Amino acid sequence: MSFRANTHEDVITMLYAAERHTGTFGGDDLVTAAETAMRLALDNDWHLLAADSSGERIVGTATTLDDCPLVDTSRRQDGLDVLVVAGMLAGPYGVAQAAARARSMGAKRVHCFYVGGWSGVIPGCDTVHRLVEASQWDQGAQLHAEESAQAVH
C-alpha cells in the first residue's frame, strides 16, 4: 500500500488533529458516534470491530445502548459482515490493517465507520461511513452522517 499527503505539513496537521481528538473524544460526540455505529450494525446485521482506542470507546458505548453484535477476535469470522470502527484518522493504515485481518479470518464483507480526518480511499473496505464535522472539533461542531461507497481494493 502506498499513500501520500499533498505536503509534509498536511501529514503533520492530520496527525496532530487525530491525536488531539483521540485524547479528548467523549461526551455527546462519543454518544453520537456510538449511536451511528450501532444503527449501522443493527440495520445491516454487521458485527462491530474496533480499529483503535477511540473505536473501542465507540463500540463499548454502542453496546450499552443496544445489543450490538460484536466480532470475537479469538475466533474465525467466516461469513460475517464486519464493521471496523475508528475515531479520527490521520491515514488509512490502521483501518486497512483491521480490514485485512477480518478478511484473513473469513469475513465475507468488511465495512468501515470512522469519526473524521482522512478522506481518501481505505483499502479493503467495501463501504465507508464517516461522521463529518461542520467546522473544527475545538469549536464544538455538530456532527452529520455522511456515507460513501467505494470498491474493494
55-106: pLDDT as tens digits? 999 999 999 999 999 999 999 999 999 999 999 888 899 999 999 999 999 9
Q: Residue 108 corresponds to which cell in the numbers above? A: 465475507
| Mean pLDDT in residue range 118-131 | 91
Architecture category of domain 8-149 in CATH: 3-Layer(aba) Sandwich (3.40)
Position 12 pLDDT exceeds 60? no
Q: What is the dihedral of CA 72, 74, 79, 83, to 10 degrees?
A: 40
Name residue 55's amino acid.
G
Q: Are 71 and 80 in contact (CB under 8 A)?
A: yes
